[in-house]
Amino acid sequence: MNEKKEKGGFFKRLKDGLSKTHKAVIKRVDEITCGKRVINDDLLDNLEEILITSDIGAVTVQRLMEKIRWKVNRKELKIPEKIHNALKDEIFSILSNHQQTLQADTLQKPFTILTVGVNGTGKTTTIAKMANIFISQGHSVLLAAADTFRAAATEQLEIWADRVGCKVIKHRQGADPSAVAFDALKSAQAKGIDVLIIDTAGRLHTKAPLMDEIKKVSRIIGRELDGAPHETLLVLDATTGQNAISQAKMFKQAINISGLALTKLDGTAKGGVIVGISETMQIPIRYIGVGEKIDDLREFNPKEFADALFEN
Amino acid sequence: MLEVLSNGFNKAKDRFAGRVELTEANIDDALKDIRLSLLEADVNFSVVKDFIHDVKEKALGVIVDTRVSHKSQKLKTTPGEHFINICHQELVTLMGPVDVDISFASKPPSTIMLIGLQGCGKTTTAGKIAGFLSKKNKTPLLVAADTYRPAAVEQLQVIGNSLSIPVFSEKEMSPPAICSKAIEHARSTGHDVVILDTAGRLAIDDSLMNELETIAANTRPDNIFLVCDAMIGQDAVKTAVEFDRRLDLSGFILTKLDGDARGGAALSIKKITGKPIKFLCTGESFDRIEEFRPDGLASRILGFGDVVGLMQDFEQVIDEKKAEKDAARMLKGQFTLLDFLEQIQSIKKMGPLQDIVEKIPFFSQMAGNVAVDERELVKIESLINSMTHKERVNPDVIKESRKKRIASGSGRTPREVSEVLKKFNTMRKMMKNMGKSGLLSKISGGLSNIPGLGGGADPGDIMGNNLPAASRKFPKPLSTSEKRKIKSKRKKAKKARKNSRKK
């Protein structure tokens, strides 16, 4: 009962969060399609504009529009109002292509998650929310404060850990992040912890030395534990525009990104970039963040996402 | 930064190869390229539309005179260059006029309030501005008004400590109360600028936006700056407009420009809100903040490189006479490993290498998307340090055995020595060619203008903004005496060749 209620509460929040997106995209699609008799070039141009202003990205938009145009030419799409559904199907199929949720496989303890991303995308907050999810699933969780660069990053993680009820392994500021990760892994192994989540400093994907640093962290964990990190999660900010694709590409080049988390979907940012990334990167989207509270992190569900996006 | 934008413009320019007139047909293709590249750069859709419209109107029907005379010098130009010039001017107009002033109250303390979305870099920027102001002999006070995010106060305290700037914080107090109290505190302790670091918030979060309005009403800040992530997408405009509507911003600060974000937001925000962009932040250390210059940004977008910015960096680390000498030597193609070493050392003082490379005209195009690795410099430096003076002045004497010695001296392999020498030779050749074609004379022209720059001369002069379109590429050709020298050199060489043939 209680759980159901909570779920409903969450779904409502997700919808609230996405309603901006929804209003922005769908209302406008409806505005331009409503009352039109035929689909002409003007209408399609307007549609393209709407998609682009949702951050979906010029390349993906071009692909989407090609499909729509193809359907129009083959007379499959004749009624302007139907464009709405056609678009929804297209976006859903892009999003669901590579979708897979993150399951902590605790056969080989600890299941190690390395969290990376550029500055200010919400890595630390996302880690706290993830820890909360794993703890509620009955796993034991340990956090590693490997962001030794930014001022007070460790303190931020500690406050969160306190709130969700888990321990943090830390070094002093300026320490080698690989050393922190190493210590945390050893500690997790000794204590038989199920899930280890490593927080790293925000780094711009264009800085070679910083990317080497993260490679080293990943290498060290891999050396100490076979198959680790089991998940390398790239945290992306939904307000980011097309640069998110470049971030995903460069991080994937440096270390093998196995999942994405998209944060800050509760703002006016339309999250359209998720479509572009799914399209170009073929990496599953694990989580979306829709608020600042501890339970505002949700497993990404393309159907739910597309529904909330397109529901009237 | 901005190189994808630049690539689009270069592609557009190439479309004019061999054309003389800017017609509807050949403009349309180029405009399409520019449109796509601006959209990919996250420039707001409606801004792109207007921009394309304006450029088209200005360019249409223009018959380009390929030979233009400027100051009694005949210069050549191409329609592509002309078209790019139109784009450049449009971009500058779009992002100008420049207003990078911080308002100071007649009766201190003055207040600077920083606001923005979560994670855009407010706290770091607060530290940077405090550092920037204390260099200008102000005594700033940082105020930790972010009571929401865990450890935000500690973060500001650490930053304040490292800059030796005091931080005001209060526990168990609401942000508006903290801000009001901080200003009282500043007044009594004699701080002349108060910097309020507020919590990140969404523009649609009504209660948090109300809180900002309360702070603004209580403290009447002299400056309210919206801090904006350069990577922000199409949403930038909406966020900026909403913050501006509720708080009447005095300007914007763009952060994280050291990535490959194309900074399209800068264009959109300026155009839609009409409020100026004040500062650009380009790195994680606290001195990476610079005042905004639209012509620099516009030039970078067009692939011209940011000569003015480069000069300002140069100015900080090099004494101008030496810089002028260096440029002159480069121009003549007399470039030795000693210069190379000196340049590497001064470049290292200037900051992250990638930033510098992007500012060098045309270099961003040549380098393409290759990431420049800082450590490469260390390698080159160690190799050159292991050479004898003779080898440094005349690298051509370095053969196998010398290579071996240099390699063991610097802890590298002979192959690495060869690689560096090869790079050096390409560079020398490139510089010689650039000197010949006049491209590099632009740099030397800029360098000789350094004193003027410091004196507040219009940087536009250096970019050639006030010159006719044609002269952009060749603003400072060789002087007559230099030409004479080259001529006599060539004559001598010709004679020598003749003589050798006779023998």
B411 Cα to chain A: minimum distance (Å): 21
Rounded (10°) angle between helices A58-73 and A83-96: 130
Residue A8 contacts B, CB cutoff 8 Å: no
Tell me, yes or no, if the two domains B110-260+274-297 and B310-437 fold the same way. Answer: no
Contacts of B480 (CB under 8 A, 6+ apart): none
| CATH of B310-437 among 1.10.260.30, 2.40.37.10, 2.60.120.10, 3.30.70.2750 | 1.10.260.30
What's the pTM value of the predicted model, to 2 decimals?
A: 0.71
| Residue type, position A145, single letter | A
C-alpha–C-alpha distance, residues A167 and A208, integer Å: 32
- At A159 the pLDDT is 92
Angle (CA) A159-A165-A171 rounded to 5° is: 50
- Which stretches of chain A score pLDDT less than 50? 1-8, 311-312
C-alpha–C-alpha distance, residues A64 and A58, integer Å: 10
Residues B349-384 have pLDDT tens digits of 665 555 666 555 444 444 444 455 667 777 888 888
Tell me what the mean pLDDT of segment B70-90 comes to. 65
Task: Pick A156's closest partner by Cβ from B151, B159, B262.
Answer: B151
C-alpha–C-alpha distance, residues A133 and A194, integer Å: 13
Do B118 and A122 lie within an 8 Å CB cutoff? yes
A28 Cα to chain B: minimum distance (Å): 15
CATH class of the domain comprising B110-260+274-297? alpha beta
Task: Pick B371's closest partner by Cβ from A121, A153, A208.
Answer: A208
Residue B378 contacts A, CB cutoff 8 Å: no
What's the whole-number average pLDDT of chain B?
75
Do A244 and B36 lie within an 8 Å CB cutoff? no
* Chain B residues 121-180 with CB within 8 Å of chain A: 121, 148-152, 154-159, 162
- At B467 the pLDDT is 32
The per-residue b/e assignment along B336-363, b for 16 or more CB within 10 angstroms, e otherwise, is bbebbbebbebbbebbbbbbbbbbebbb
Tell me what the mean pLDDT of segment B267-294 comes to. 87
C-alpha–C-alpha distance, residues B51 and B497, integer Å: 56
Which residue out of B157, B163, B204, B229 would a mutagenesis test of the A interface target, given it has the greatest number of A Cβ atoms within 10 Å? B229
Residue A52 contacts B, CB cutoff 8 Å: yes
Which residue out of B34, B36, B38, B40 would a mutagenesis test of the A interface target, given it has the greatest number of A Cβ atoms within 10 Å? B40
Residue B239 vs residue B78, higher pLDDT: B239
Cβ-Cβ pairs closer than 8 A, A with B, add up to: 147
At residue B218 the predicted structure's pLDDT band, cuts being 50, 70 and 90, is very high
Residue B334 vs residue B108, higher pLDDT: B108
| C-alpha dihedral sign at A163, A169, A171, A173 | negative
Sheet of strand B223-229, all strands in order from the earlier edge strand to the far edge: B167-168, B140-145, B193-198, B110-116, B223-229, B251-255, B277-281, B289-291
What's chain B's Rg over C-alpha atoms?
Answer: 26
Which residue out of B2, B206, B284 would a mutagenesis test of the A interface target, given it has the greatest number of A Cβ atoms within 10 Å? B284
Do B234 and A159 lie within an 8 Å CB cutoff? no
Q: Which residues of B touch A149 (CB under 8 A)?
A: 284
Q: How many CB atoms lie within 10 A of CB B415?
A: 10
A192 Cα to chain B: minimum distance (Å): 29
- At B242 the pLDDT is 92
C-alpha–C-alpha distance, residues B356 and B292, integer Å: 16
Q: Could you tell me the end-to-end alpha-carbon distance of chain A, in angstroms, rounded to an integer? A: 27
Residue B156 vs residue B328, higher pLDDT: B156
Residue B256 contacts A, CB cutoff 8 Å: yes
Q: Which residue of B has its CA nearest to A269?
A: B235
Q: Which residues of A touch B117 (CB under 8 A)?
A: 239, 264, 267
Residue A237 contacts B, CB cutoff 8 Å: yes
* Chain A residues 201-220 with CB within 8 Å of chain B: 204-209
Q: Which residue of B has its CA nearest to A247?
A: B260
Do B39 and A270 lie within an 8 Å CB cutoff? no
DSSP string, A158-189: HHHHHHHT-EEE---TT--HHHHHHHHHHHHH
Residue A122 contacts B, CB cutoff 8 Å: yes
Which residue out of B142, B165, B234, B272 would a mutagenesis test of the A interface target, given it has the greatest number of A Cβ atoms within 10 Å? B234
Angle (CA) A95-A98-A103 rounded to 5° is: 110
Residue A284 contacts B, CB cutoff 8 Å: no
C-alpha–C-alpha distance, residues A113 and A199, integer Å: 9
Residues B424-480 have pLDDT tens digits of 787 777 766 655 544 433 433 333 333 222 222 233 333 333 333 333 333 345 667
Do A264 and B118 lie within an 8 Å CB cutoff? yes
Residues B159-195 have pLDDT tens digits of 999 999 999 999 889 999 999 999 999 999 999 999 9
Q: Which residue of A has its CA nearest to B153?
A: A152
Do B231 and A243 lie within an 8 Å CB cutoff? yes
Which residue out of A54, A242, A273, A292 would a mutagenesis test of the B interface target, given it has the greatest number of B Cβ atoms within 10 Å? A242
The residues spanned by each domain of chain B are: 110-260+274-297, 310-437
C-alpha–C-alpha distance, residues B362 and B81, integer Å: 13
Q: Which residues of B touch A155 (CB under 8 A)?
A: 150-151, 154-155
- At B470 the pLDDT is 33
Do B117 and A208 lie within an 8 Å CB cutoff? no
- At B42 the pLDDT is 83
A180 Cα to chain B: minimum distance (Å): 20
Task: Pick B204's closest partner by Cβ from A20, A57, A150.
Answer: A20
Residue A298 contacts B, CB cutoff 8 Å: no
Q: Which residues of B touch A294 (CB under 8 A)?
A: none
Q: Which residue of B has its CA nearest to A49?
A: B45
Among B107-116, B262-271, B400-409, B431-440, the minimum mean pLDDT is found in: B431-440
Residues B298-307 have pLDDT tens digits of 655 554 444 4
Give residue B236's Cα distance to chain centre. Answer: 21
